[in-house]
Amino acid sequence: MAEMTEIRSMTVLPAVREDIVLTTEDGLELVGELALPASGEVTATLITLHPLPTHGGFMDSHVFRKAAWRLPHLANVAVIRFNTRGTTSPRGTSEGQFEEGVGERADARAAVEFAVARGLPHRWLVGWSFGTELALMHGSELDVEGAILLSPPLHRAQPSDLEAWAATGKPVTALVPEHDDFLKPDEARERFAPLTQLELIPVEGAKHLWVGEPYVRIVLDAIVERVAPDSAPLPTEVPADIVD
């Protein structure tokens, strides 16, 4: 039997990783990465929308980085990460400048259109913090199956945005940390009322940034349970000889 090793915070599992450039309808180039299952079989596709770039959010924000490192191998899930306009990461800097979630509508659209053009199936938006605002404000009109929201602050999204999502009937799940800095579970239930099909999951002990491997595992398990349920829950160990 192969020797097994625990999946840890810096574990990188096999995948086909490709640097990509997204072109927006207003002519900007956004840098990103596509991580695909090495098997070539894609069960679902995550289009990730990162936290607030003016407060350190970018495509490498840790939950999304770990999703790209793990989910292609563990669940045959493709992961698209990219820097919204004006955002910098080790991958590079996307053109343009931060536009408070308004101009970023074109960024989200470009990412979804890229996934469609590449034939990536079962597309889901996964937003975190500011990224949930982009998903809520702009995602209902996009060619996706649903959305998963991590730590939604509801600072920019309006009741009309929630109503637009409700009208689609597409599934939306929100993971709300017990100790979130901006929106805790009880208030979230009230403010998300217009989004009638929302599945709200309070996460005991968690904080806005999902720091700590136990919380990362909760998030990734919840994502996979919705987009690739046959692969949930995710294993916590893998053969040692496949770890990068």
Q: Which of 107, 112, 89, 101 is nearest to 136 (CA)?
A: 101
pLDDT for 148-192, tens place per residue?
999 999 999 999 999 999 999 999 999 999 999 999 999 999 999
Average pLDDT value over all residues in the chain: 98
Q: CA neighbours within 13 Å on the CB side: how many for 192?
A: 27
Residue 2, pLDDT > 90, answer no
Contact 139, 62 (CB under 8 A): no
Residue 1, pLDDT > 80, answer no
Kindly report the CA angle at 240 between 42 and 12, in degrees rounded to 5? 50
Q: Specify whether domain 20-230 bears CATH 3.40.50.1820.
A: yes
Q: Is the pTM here over 0.85, yes or no? A: yes
Q: Which of 72, 55, 54 is nearest to 18 (CA)?
A: 72
243: number of Cβ within 10 Å: 15
Residue 244, pLDDT > 80, answer no
